[in-house]
Amino acid sequence: MREFKTILVTGGAGFIGSNFIRHVFRKSGYKGKAVNLDKLTYAGNLLSLTDIEKEYGGTRYFFEHVDICDKAGVMKTLKDTGADCIVHFAAESHVDRSITGPGEFIQTNLIGTFNLLEAAREFWKDRKDVLFHHISTDEVYGSLGDIGYFFEDTAYDPRSPYSASKAGSDHLVMAYHHTYGLPVTLSNCSNNYGPYHFPEKLIPLMILNCFEGKPLPVYGDGMNVRDWLYVEDHASAIWKIITDGKIGDKYNVGGENERPNLEVVNLICEIAAGENGKPKDEYKSLITYVKDRPGHDRRYAINCDKLKKELGWKQSVTFEDGLRQTVRWYLNNPEWIESVRSGEYRKWIEKNYAARD
Ligand code: NAD
Ligand code: DAU
């Protein structure tokens, strides 16, 4: 089992990154430090980590307000912290935004990853006791028909600007391993859901719209299929891979929980109604079919046997339980929702971090 002294988490203020940092401190048994390097785009929210900041801030948890496209800033952070592991989440992550504005996706996902790899290579030189773990997506494999699965050796066939930028970054990571011997691991994951999910993505958007009696916009015929994974299970998978994964290997991570979007939305309606003390079908009339996403991938389904067999990982919650916990989390955290929507959290950041920047 590999051990690290200081893990640099890029994009740690985002949805999965913040859940991963919480997992590292609360569940993994890790005794070292974690540095959250984040640009704090619209999707980055330090309020997602106030509990961690309160308990470990300044001793084992640190925040660095840095853009991964700024190589000097990244180099300074590496030198200041002496990080021996990088877990790279930072990205533009929303497919719809990549359709209307692909430029940021190329910049952060491709150029930013390149910068980070260059900085790691320069800082670590030929060290072998270090690790660069890259977080990627099942979307790099393209779109499936009614049958079949994505395996680790499935050929890449990205079809949106988002997935193309992620595919490019995956290739760069592997190229740095093969060409320069940089110790890397890579994971390709299906759709995450859970607490701290930015409410532009399907599940949190539908939950909040149910609570607020707003239309539930279903793209196309609602029969596009996604595989859903609880974010805490993704965090535990990443921990397994960085500590026990084979250097130079890639691992698929999935929920083994395929659902058509319409089924997901109906389930959310039922759970949200139950949690709000309303009749089961109360919110279903809000479902509204809207224009489809251009180039909308039809089906993703991931085979994650390698991770299960080689590293002994498994999912911990059923979709119904995970979704119920998620609905409850959104019901119980109105301040977080308000802060994300109002931009109020930026004022909090300015107040708390201005002195450090
Ligand atoms: P997110 O959009 O919630 O968070 C992204 C984080 O990266 C934010 O904190 C943002 O401020 C930060 N960031 C963006 N650009 C940056 C830059 N230039 N420099 C530094 N920080 C920057 O994303 P997420 O859903 O948590 O996804 C995290 C990673 O996981 C991404 O790489 C994404 O491609 C991948 N992924 C996500 C899912 C999913 O279902 N959400 C599934 C598979 C893979
Ligand atoms: O598969 C992994 C990917 O999952 C990640 O790499 C991405 O970062 C992440 O955003 C997610 O991408 P999707 O496009 O699958 O997620 P999204 O929540 O945007 O959409 C899920 C499905 O729901 C998709 O088929 C589009 C549909 N949808 C989405 C929204 C926002 C709707 O029908 N209505 C909506 O309003």
Query: What is the rounded CA–CA span in Å between residue 167 and residue 113?
Result: 11
Report, as residue numbers or ranges, the catalytic residues. Answer: 138-139, 162
Q: What is the pTM of this model?
A: 0.98
Note the ligand closest to the C-alpha atom of 158: 2
Q: What separation in Å is there between the alpha carbon of 190 and the centre of ligand 2?
A: 10
* Residue 160 CB–ligand 2 contact under 6 Å: no
Q: Where are the domains of the chain?
A: 6-194+231-254+296-317
Q: Given the structure tokens 């401190």, which residue do they identify?
A: 25
Q: What separation in Å is there between the alpha carbon of 215 and the centre of ligand 2?
A: 17
* Residue 137 CB–ligand 1 contact under 6 Å: yes
Q: What separation in Å is there between the alpha carbon of 201 and the centre of ligand 2?
A: 6
CB atoms within 10 A of CB 25: 18
pLDDT, tens only, 156-209: 999 999 999 999 999 999 999 999 999 999 999 999 999 999 999 999 999 999
Report the nearest-CA residue for atom 5 of ligand 1. Answer: 14
Average the pLDDT over 268-276 and give the result.
96
Average the pLDDT over 43-71 and give the result.
96
Q: What separation in Å is there between the alpha carbon of 95 and the centre of ligand 2?
A: 7
Tell which CATH classification among 1.10.10.10, 3.40.50.720, 2.60.40.10, 3.60.15.10 matches the domain 6-194+231-254+296-317: 3.40.50.720
Nearest ligand 1 atom to the CA of 45 is 9
Residue 297 pLDDT > 80, yes or no? yes
Residue 163 is predicted with a pLDDT of 98
Average the pLDDT over 274-302 and give the result.
96
> Do strands 191-193 and 250-253 pair parallel, antiparallel, or not at all (unpaired)?
unpaired
Torsion angle of C-alpha atoms 288, 289, 295, 296, degrees rounded to 10: 70
* Residue 119 CB–ligand 2 contact under 6 Å: no
pLDDT, tens only, 198-237: 999 999 999 999 999 999 999 999 999 999 999 999 999 9
Helix (H) or strand (E) holding 87: strand 85-88
For ligand 2, mutation pick of 42, 93, 95 (most atoms within 8 Å of CB):
95
For 138-270, list the strands marked E by DSSP.
184-189, 191-193, 216-219, 225-230, 250-253, 258-260
Residue 182 is predicted with a pLDDT of 98
Do residues 239 and 24 make contact, with C-beta atoms less than 8 angstroms apart?
yes
